[in-house]
A and B are shown apart, each in its own frame.
Chain A
């Protein structure tokens, strides 16, 4: 594994060392159990040969030399067992607990990287990919820190002690007993690999099944309206059948797993009895030795099988770590956020010959873009979906940096401002008006540190959402999202607007954030913005003529370039794209005259 990962182990190196010591000690005690059993049996054999008279059971156990030998050995046995158990407890408490701590550190670091990574990074990967890295992959890497390390140490120390003992007792029998074990390891490696690979396939099929159920259930009205129940059932059953088939294929391999392991283990034991038995007959070995070896083999089985399992897990951990590493490397390349503050910002904005390409995109999204926005004015940006409007406004808070050209804020290049300070003075209402599954208060207060209830109410009022919130049973404490209630589109948009307004921003950006708000409410929101003592610069993206037409200036964007610019009246008189868009919105009238 990459050296980088081991930096997470460094803080716990003493814990791990201690854990290794405990595990070694545990195995040291363990190996005495078969030795003591053999010794006892040998003693019994020896005493049996010497002894002439037969004692009662009570006398044999409690009242004789032989009895005390037996009792001493049994006591030692119990002590060895307790020692083993005690150290095993300590091992788990050190090694596995340490692995959870490492996981904790790793999770914190991954999240820290995620919070710091720029939008360019998120444009490169899908949300699903990032999510898997931040969850599943961390789990897999933890398995390296925890079980893999523990099992490896266990296999090494236990095999070391056991094989050493076998070697001392009888070299030939050792070779025979160990013979099938590598096979066991390979078998476990192969099967766990197959199971893992197949589980992913099954997981995918399972998701398909769940997706189908989700789709049918969410479109239930349509399903019913079109009497589509039967065909939905057929679709579901096809996936259901596929799922069953795939499951059975895995079941076939899994049916091989335990019987197979059991078989290989049994072979080892039979070999010990067979070869050992021959040696006993040849008087090279005692029956106690057979018992001893049987137990040795039993002790080796799980560590050896775990070896196969561990190797497999280890490979998975590496693959996962490679994926997580991408996050850290991207984080590593980040520059520190420096630059000037925006305290006395006026809000004059200029895009000068700006070009922007998304990572890996062949065609630029914005090209030779020139826009000027005067402080305190309301500027509208219109254009078709995909024309680059949203990208354009995302350059202002420096979510993305222009590929070419320069943006100026109050005459100073945007990149000379610190991101933090820049974002503090911007109010941004993103297109998807994302809200967190938290209380409404938290969501609106998200905009500033230590928002008071007054601030929150003020912002909600300005965004025309106060009445809606007060209608809820829990008012501002209403929880949104999965565990709470679902807001309507318009309520969501207005809550997102409140979140931006609470910051009292100098520049407000509304990225198509009034689309689900009716015209009346929209009017009220826009008016309340104008009433402010401080003149806010407003950049508004919209499709709706009623939203746009009062703007001080309108830019019509097409293919990442400014195609037309001017006031509503000016643009209408230009008779260009804006005019035709406007006309199309009035198309009903034309159709009427047909």
Chain B
């Protein structure tokens, strides 16, 4: 029962995969036709040998021999050319299918809701887009065609053998069941031990990787010997896993050779006897000896391909799981349109949690930001500050309450329209690999270099950008960039300004920016906030003091609301305490 279900599931998988090779169906037909020709040309040669021996060599016919040799060569050359064309052809449509599949997976993942990314490790998502698709390469390219080709070959070999001598044919294939059994046995063992090997390799490599990264720590703490002993244990297991695999291989490969030769012995014995009776010619014997060797190749090939197909199906299952993931955040069917948006934000009794069982991350949040006003959110890590930003952008869906922009619930807006309203300056993950210009323009062709330069000069970011080699064409690396935290933030400010958003969303850096750029960041943030509705997760005193409203958050709730002076007057207020602890140094001088 389970097996038939599995088979049915495999069938649908194959059907869905077919979608990606469907555009090449004509080529596939051609490839199958070519396989047929190749199989014929490859298997006809022993038959031609038989003719050469029995009809010409036996009768001392030089000319006839010559003709057969030409035929043999013709068949060989034809097989060579067709096989080459066929291999490339199958690879070609395979690669094209993989291309579309890869693109589709990427597109799908990219379009999924943010929470999906929270739940799935990035590494897994990358695997889906790259190696899982890669695992399908054989299935989508030469896999199926090669299986058909192997079947053709088996068919032709059997055809030629039986047409020459059916008894001898039966004797030759008598060994098959044993071979099948051996292959099956081997496949099972090797699969298991290969999995072990793979685990051990990844163990070993990640140990090495990690200890190279952390070598200083190892040495500073005098742990060289201890860690080396740890490594030896891993290394030992790695070795053992390999040795186990070697054992199965050293049984299987000799065994296959033995079986193939065993078939040959049977041919010699039985065929020899037959030959004595005059029933079998020498040419036939010669042909059978060759067929016996040829016969095992496609069978072995089939079992190998079956294996790769199995793992390819497993990969495709994972891929379709991604492709089938439902979007949780959708643009409504008839979205409302913001005409002439002003930037009025309101949260009304907003409740949010990540899942139905979890703790409430935000509880009953209410606030309002009038167009052009600034809101500063302060609070400890985990208070829910960032969540508010995530909710405005509709990265997550709230459970209760409503969030409105200019009085329209954001769930009624088109997603891209909603998000266009905002300019973001966040702390992490804010830059892409690419030039400074690309990072600012974000690939939008409407944003010219001149526009970018103008904005950079406005916030004086041009000062440091001009010092970079290549200036605006300087390529930023995501990691190991030469830019400081503050400089990265400046670039984000320029980007936000270039887009001239209605609403600024700001997540200020916690750790101190190097002092030189600090001033620039300040100027930039002032510029960016000027005249715009702003929501800032604030750490800088000036941002907080200047805000029209300060929200003090604690454990998902708003505890205090007001402006700087109002909040300072609250005895035992959180804001006041925070101010004294965190900001008093900064205000000493005034």
Contacts and interface: CB of A to CB of B under 8 A. Distances in A.
Interface string A59-88: 011000011001101100110011011101
A3 interface: no
Interface string B83-109: 111011001100110110011001101
Interface stretch (B214-222, B366-374, B452-460, B464-472): B214-222
Contact of A520 (B220, B432, B542, B581): B581
A77 B72 CA distance: 30
A44 interface: yes
A100 B582 contact: no
A43 B232 CA distance: 61
B325 interface: no
B272 A40 contact: yes
Interface string A573-588: 0000000110111111
B314 interface: no
Contacts of A91: 250
Interface in B247-297: 247, 249-251, 253-255, 257-258, 261-262, 264-266, 268-270, 272-278, 282-283, 285-286, 289-290, 293
A517 B261 CA distance: 73
Interface in B101-121: 102-103, 106-107, 109-111, 114, 117
Contacts of B510: 516
Contacts of B130: 206, 209-210, 213
A585 B264 contact: no
A231 B104 CA distance: 15
Interface string B184-219: 000000000000000000001110111111111111
Across the A-B interface, give the 10 residue pairs with the lowest CB-CB distance, nearest first: A92-B250, A231-B443, A74-B269, A588-B542, A255-B87, A251-B91, A85-B254, A584-B515, A85-B258, A88-B254
A44 B92 contact: no
A273 B280 CA distance: 19
Contact of B216 (A85, A116, A399, A585): A399
Q: Which of B73, B268, B512, B582 counts the most chain A CB atoms within 10 A? A: B268
A88 B393 contact: no
A71 B545 CA distance: 105
Given A97-B243, A248-B92, A385-B514, 12 more contacts: A47-B276, A61-B270, A81-B265, A127-B213, A219-B430, A251-B87, A251-B95, A263-B79, A270-B76, A273-B69, A543-B514, A589-B590
Contact of B117 (A66, A220, A385, A430): A220
Nearest to B66: A274
B318 to A, nearest CB: 15
Contact of B268 (A74, A252, A263, A394): A74
A55 B277 contact: yes
A472 to B, nearest CB: 14
Contacts of A77: 261, 264-265, 268-269
Given A44-B272, A73-B269, A226-B442, A281 B522 contact: no
B262 A81 contact: yes
Interface stretch (A104-112, A317-325, A452-460): A104-112
Q: Which of A60, A103, A254, A423 counts the most chain B CB atoms within 10 A? A: A60
Interface in A206-236: 206, 209-211, 213-229, 231-236
A81 B106 contact: no
B122 A270 contact: no
Q: Which of B110, B129, B442, B581 counts the most chain A CB atoms within 10 A? A: B110
Contacts of B429: 218-219, 221-222
Looking at chain B's contact residues, the main secondary structure is: helix
Interface string B151-171: 000000000000000000000
Contacts of A449: 226
Contact of B96 (A57, A244, A481): A244
A102 B459 CA distance: 62
A15 B123 CA distance: 43
Contacts of B273: 57, 60-61, 66-67, 70
Contacts of A426: 220
A179 to B, nearest CB: 15
B228 A591 contact: no
Given A100-B239, A291-B286, A248 B91 contact: yes
A153 interface: no
Contacts of B60: 281
Nearest to B84: A259
Looking at chain A's contact residues, the main secondary structure is: helix
8 contacts: A57-B277, A67-B273, A71-B269, A114-B211, A287-B57, A397-B220, A430-B220, A447-B221
Interface stretch (A130-138, A361-369, A409-417): A130-138
A61 B587 CA distance: 111
A585 B586 contact: yes
A535 interface: no
Contacts of A233: 103, 106-107, 110
B69 A274 contact: yes
B478 to A, nearest CB: 6
Given A88-B257, A107-B235, A277 B420 contact: no
Contacts of A291: 285-286, 289
A255 B424 CA distance: 51
B246 interface: yes
A266 interface: yes
B549 interface: no
Interface residues of B, number: 156
Interface stretch (B20-28, B45-53, B347-355): B45-53
B49 A273 contact: yes
Contact of A592 (B53, B80, B221, B542): B542
Given A232-B110, A233-B107, A114 B212 contact: yes
A5 interface: no
A584 B586 CA distance: 10
A91 B208 CA distance: 32
Q: Which of B204, B242, B255 counts the most chain A CB atoms within 10 A? A: B242
Contacts of A81: 257-258, 261-262, 265
B11 interface: no
B443 A287 contact: no
A326 interface: no
Interface in B556-590: 581-582, 585-590
Contact of B91 (A51, A255, A499, A581): A255
Nearest to A421: B222
B10 interface: no
A258 B210 CA distance: 41
A569 interface: no
B526 interface: yes
A119 to B, nearest CB: 6
B77 interface: yes
Interface string A288-309: 0011001100100000000000
Nearest to B274: A57
Contact of B511 (A51, A114, A235, A516): A516
A545 interface: yes
Given A41-B272, A240-B99, A428-B220, A252 B88 contact: yes
B327 interface: no
B330 interface: no
Contact of A227 (B247, B289, B419, B590): B419
A200 interface: no
A424 B87 contact: no
Contact of A434 (B129, B217, B264): B217
A258 to B, nearest CB: 7
B300 interface: no
A497 to B, nearest CB: 13
Given A41-B285, A291-B286, A437-B210, A84 B254 contact: yes
Contact of A588 (B106, B212, B216, B586): B586
A263 to B, nearest CB: 4
A544 B514 CA distance: 10
B84 A589 contact: no
A446 interface: yes
Q: Which of A85, A423, A516 counts the most chain B CB atoms within 10 A? A: A85
